Amino acid sequence: MNLVETIGYVRSDLQSLHDWCNYQSRMKSMSSSRVAYGRTHKWFGYEVILKPNAEIKNGHWDERVNRLGDRILPGWNCALLCHYRPGGRMIRHCDHSVFEPLVALVNIGRTTFCIGNQEYHLTDGQVIKFDSGILHELLPVVSDRWSLSFRTIKPEYLRF
Ligand SMILES: O=C(O)CCC(=O)C(=O)O
Ligand SMILES: [Fe+2]
């Protein structure tokens, strides 16, 4: 069984997506993360501070992110743009339980993504879905690479 489903490719917009990624200069370094190295990130929709008791705040807002998210993960409320510099990686982990496990992710650049015992070489613009409750890992990237991942925070954690 494939643990990663490819749901499509960003094609016509790919160069402008690269330009947009480069432009996102206010990405902060994830100082508290024990699983990500050589990575900076920025939240859209809700921002989640990933402590054992997750803290949920308002993140950034961007029309491009909203459009993409509505197409690839209807009902999403949280998006994370990550930049990995060469050598950047994520060690094996499962995502925080504050999120529904289904993640939709736009891969920008090239990377090797491992989940369960499977390995996937993701190409520039590839859009995938996976169950983030299954152990997954990102091997060190060889050149700059971004991911824009969409998640849904479980309703029991939302306060209005
Ligand atoms: O950047 C990626 O491709 C994976 C990111 C990931 O697994 C995470 O942020 O939890
Ligand atoms: Fe993850």
Give the closest residue (by CA) to ligand 1 atom 4. 138
Question: What pTM was estimated for this model as a whole?
Answer: 0.96
The CATH number of the domain holding residue 77 is 2.60.120.590
Distance (Å, rounded) from C-alpha 95 to C-alpha 154? 13
Q: How far is CA 106 from CA 7, 32, 53, 129, 159, in A?
A: 10, 24, 27, 9, 28
Distance (Å, rounded) from C-alpha 121 to C-alpha 100? 25
Q: Is 113 in the pocket of ligand 1 (CB under 6 A)?
A: yes
Segment 92-114, tens digit of pLDDT: 999 999 999 999 999 999 999 99
- In testing the pocket of ligand 1, which one of 89, 103, 121, 147 has its CB within 8 Å of the most ligand atoms? 147
Q: Which domain holds residue 70?
A: 4-157
Segment 60-75, tens digit of pLDDT: 999 999 999 999 999 9
| Single-letter amino acid, residue 138 | L
Distance (Å, rounded) from C-alpha 25 to C-alpha 8? 27
Neighbours of ion ligand 2 (CB under 5 A): 95
Q: Structurally, how many domains does the chain consist of?
A: 1
C-alpha 12 – ligand 1 centre gap (Å): 24
Q: Is the ipTM of this complex over 0.90?
A: yes
Q: How far is CA 47 from CA 6, 92, 136, in A?
A: 26, 22, 22
